[in-house]
A and B are shown apart, each in its own frame.
Chain A
Amino acid sequence: MQILEFLLLIFLVLSAVMAVRFDEELISIIFLSIFSLILTALYMLYKAADVALAEAVIGAGLNTAIFMSAISQIRHGDSD
């Protein structure tokens, strides 16, 4: 379990770094969704079952949907 926790923590930090880097907003939102997914797996590893269920439905479901619907209404290309 130590190796799994260590790998998940490294991917957590990497996906957070990737989420703030790109100019095009669609890629950033996909990396935010990956961040939320890895955080759900980590919550389950620390034996918090209720919090993992809440983070799975809210972080990876509702947050991503609201971000996508906000991006489809703004002009693209206004970078950084």
Chain B
Amino acid sequence: MINNLVFSILIFIGLYAIYIKRNMIKIVIGLSILESAVFFWVIATNDNGGKLPFYQVAQNGIEMIDALPQALTLTGIVIGASTTALLLTFIIELDKFTGTHNLDNLKGLDD
């Protein structure tokens, strides 16, 4: 129950940073927090007090924890880092081009 509470609070913080903040770096930070919240919930729910899924630590299969969510989380972490790098490249180029990285100063249809 505490895991669900922390998960929903982190989702609220991530969505707040994506939708309401005007600084583009804050938006990317909010996306990163949102992805980390989902990975945290996937690992925290599958914890039933067992041992590592290794055949040297646990001698038979009954006292292991689930091995499948860890593989999915590993893939997700690497993809999240690549997406963040690409988004930051766009912000660097936009700042060189227009001189600002704030969404309030980027009005293109005003004239």
A contact residues vs B (CB 8 Å cutoff): 6, 9, 12-13, 16-17, 19-20, 23, 25, 28-29, 32, 35-36, 39, 42-43, 46-51, 54-55, 58-59, 62-63, 66-67, 70-71, 73-75, 78-80
| Cβ-Cβ contact count across A and B, 8 Å cutoff | 114
- Given the known interface contacts A13-B10, A25-B23, A42-B40, the answer about A51 and B30 at a Cβ–Cβ threshold of 8 Å is no
Task: State which size class the interface on B falls in.
Answer: 35 or more
Chain A interface secondary structure, helix, strand, loop or mixed? helix
Determine whether the beta carbon of B33 is less than 8 Å from that of A71: no
Q: How far is the CA of A46 from the CA of B83 in the complex (A)?
A: 27
- Binary per-residue interface labels of chain B (84-108) against chain A in the complex, 1 for a CB within 8 Å, 0 otherwise: 1100110110011001111001000
- Given the known interface contacts A35-B33, A80-B21, the answer about A13 and B77 at a Cβ–Cβ threshold of 8 Å is no
